Amino acid sequence: EIQLQESGPGLVKPSQSLSLTCSVTGYTITSGYDWSWIRKFPGNKMEWMGYISNSGSTNYNPSLKIRISITRDTSKNQFFLQLNSVTTEDTATYYCAREDNNYVMDAWGQGASVTVSS
């Protein structure tokens, strides 16, 4: 059974970078699927941030394109989110997920709450 688990700092200062790790067990991220980051803001709005494919290519939400980077470490079966120049508006719960061939998320992590505050 696949499991995804987010980890990283729960508090980030404005203008700094937000970095999160998604550790995947039960499936090898190079075997297939795309590996996504999604965030849920206070008030429940959800935003798809982007993915890294099983071959290592990336696809980002244009609204974040200049600030976001998704990378991976295949030896550890992990993928990562970096979001630069954060503001208080980036305060959210961040989820990693597996995205299937139809661009539907069929497995999600538990979520990591990140607050941007000085």
Partner 1 sequence: DIQMTQSPASLSASLGETVSIECLASEDIYSNLAWYQQKPGKSPQLLIYYASSLQDGVPSRFSGSESGTQYSLEINSLQPEDEGDYFCQQSYKFPLTFGSGTKLEIK
Question: Least CB distance from residue 52 to partner 1, whole Å?
Answer: 14
The sheet with strand 78-83 has its strands ordered as 3-7, 18-25, 78-83, 68-73
Q: Is 59 in the site for partner 1 (CB under 8 A)?
A: yes
* C-alpha 98, offset from chain centre: 10
Q: Is 113 in the site for partner 1 (CB under 8 A)?
A: no
Residue type, 22: C
> Per CB under 8 A, which of residues 11..50 are in contact with partner 1?
44-48
- Residue closer to partner 1 by CB (options 72, 98) is 98
Q: How many residues make contact with partner 1 (CB under 8 A)? A: 19
